[in-house]
Amino acid sequence: MERQHAPSPAVQGLGDASRGRLAYSPPRTQSAPSLREGWPLIAGSWTIFFLGLAILWHANGIFLVQWERAFGWGRGLIAGAFSLGGALSALATPLIGRVADRYSVHRLITGGALTMGVGLVLLALIQAPWHLYLTYTLAYLGFTLMGHVPIGATLARVFLHRRALAIGIAHTGMGSGGILLAPLIPLLIATVGWRWTLAVAGLLAMGVLIPVGATVFRRVPQAPVVGGGQGGQGYTLRQALGMWQFWVLAGAFVSANFALSGVGAHMVPFLADRGVSLQRGALAIALQAFSHVGGKLTFALLAERLQPRYPLAVAYALGGIAVALLVFVGAPWTAYLSAGFVGLAMSATTVFQPILGALYFGTMALGAILGVLFAVTYSVASAGGAVAGLLYDITGTYRVPFLAFLGLLVVGSLLVLATGQRQRPPISSPTPPAPEPGRRS
- Do 95 and 195 lie in a common domain? yes
Q: What separation in angstroms does the CA of 11 have from each of 5, 95, 227, 430?
A: 12, 21, 21, 10
- Is residue 19 domain-resident? no
pLDDT for res 279:
59
Query: Count of CB atoms within 10 A of residue 20's CB?
Result: 10
- Do 334 and 350 lie in a common domain? yes
**DSSP codes joined into one string, 148-207:** HHHHHHHHHHH-SSSHHHHHHHHHHHHHHIIIIITTHHHHHHHHH-HHHHHHHHHHHHHH
- Do 57 and 161 lie in a common domain? yes
pLDDT for res 233:
75
Percent of the chain whose predicted confidence (pLDDT) is above 90: 33
Q: Which residues contact 331 (CB under 8 A, 6 or more apart)?
A: none
pLDDT for res 33:
65
Select from 195, 220, 245 the last residue of a domain.
220
Question: 39-53, 155-169, 198-212: which has the minimum mean pLDDT?
Answer: 155-169
pLDDT for res 190:
87
Query: Count of CB atoms within 10 A of residue 83's CB?
Result: 17
pLDDT for res 127:
95
Domain count for the chain, please give it.
2
> Per-residue confidence at 227, pLDDT binned at 50, 70, 90?
very low
User: Can you tell me the distance from the alpha carbon of 357 to that of 372, in angstroms, rounded to the nearest whole number?
Assistant: 11
Residue 355 pLDDT > 80: yes
- Is residue 28 domain-resident? no
Buried-exposed string 288-325: b where 16+ CB fall within 10 A, e elsewhere: bbbbbbbbbbbbbebbeeebbbebbbbbbbbbbbbbbb
- Do 205 and 304 lie in a common domain? no
pLDDT for res 69:
85
- The mean per-residue pLDDT over the stretch 328-338 comes to 77
Residue 170 pLDDT > 70: yes
Residue 128, domain CATH: 1.20.1250.20
Q: How many residues does the chain have?
A: 441
* CA angle (259, 273, 69) in 5-degree steps: 90
Residue 336 CA, chain-centre distance (Å), reads: 25
- Do 216 and 239 lie in a common domain? no
Instruction: State the DSSP H helix or E strand holding residue 262, giving kind and residue range, or none if neither.
Output: helix 244-273
State pLDDT tens for residues 295-319.
888 988 888 888 899 999 999 999 9
- Is residue 32 domain-resident? no
- Is residue 301 domain-resident? yes
Question: 71-75, 124-128, 178-182: which has the minimum mean pLDDT?
Answer: 178-182
Residue 228 pLDDT > 60: no
pLDDT for res 417:
94
- Is residue 2 domain-resident? no
> Per-residue confidence at 14, pLDDT binned at 50, 70, 90?
very low
Higher-confidence residue: 251 or 66? 251
- The mean per-residue pLDDT over the stretch 330-336 comes to 73
Residue 436 pLDDT > 60: no
- Do 176 and 262 lie in a common domain? no
Nearest to 345, CA basis, from 308, 399, 303, 299: 299
Contact 353, 152 (CB under 8 A): yes
Question: 47-61, 67-81, 178-192, 274-288: which has the minimum mean pLDDT?
Answer: 274-288
- Is residue 61 domain-resident? yes
- Indicate the burial class of 283 (C-beta count within 10 angstroms; 0-12, 13-18, 19 or more): middle
- Is residue 416 domain-resident? yes
- Do 255 and 156 lie in a common domain? no
- Do 205 and 246 lie in a common domain? no
User: Can you tell me the distance from the alpha carbon of 387 to that of 398, in angstroms, rounded to the nearest whole number?
Assistant: 11
Higher-confidence residue: 393 or 32? 393
- Do 77 and 169 lie in a common domain? yes
- Do 176 and 249 lie in a common domain? no
State pLDDT tens for residues 251-273.
999 999 999 988 877 776 777 77
- Do 171 and 311 lie in a common domain? no
| The most confident of 17-26, 66-75, 201-210, by mean pLDDT | 201-210
User: Can you tell me the distance from the alpha carbon of 355 to that of 296, in angstroms, rounded to the nearest whole number?
Assistant: 12
| The most confident of 11-20, 46-55, 95-104, 199-208, by mean pLDDT | 199-208
Q: Which residues contact 285 (CB under 8 A, 6 or more apart)?
A: 267, 268, 339
pLDDT for res 363:
83
Q: Which domain holds residue 367?
A: 227-421
CA dihedral 322, 326, 331, 337 (to 10 degrees): 20
- Do 268 and 193 lie in a common domain? no
What does the mean pLDDT of the chain come to? 80
pLDDT for res 56:
87
> Per-residue confidence at 51, pLDDT binned at 50, 70, 90?
very high
Contact 264, 289 (CB under 8 A): no
- Is residue 429 domain-resident? no
Nearest to 322, CA basis, from 356, 350, 287: 287
- SS3 of 362, please? strand
Higher-confidence residue: 337 or 424? 337
User: Can you tell me the distance from the alpha carbon of 345 to that of 313, in angstroms, rounded to the nearest whole number?
Assistant: 9
Contact 378, 90 (CB under 8 A): yes
Select from 164, 192, 220 the last residue of a domain.
220
pLDDT for res 153:
86
Q: What is the pTM of this model?
A: 0.74
Select from 220, 244, 276 the last residue of a domain.
220
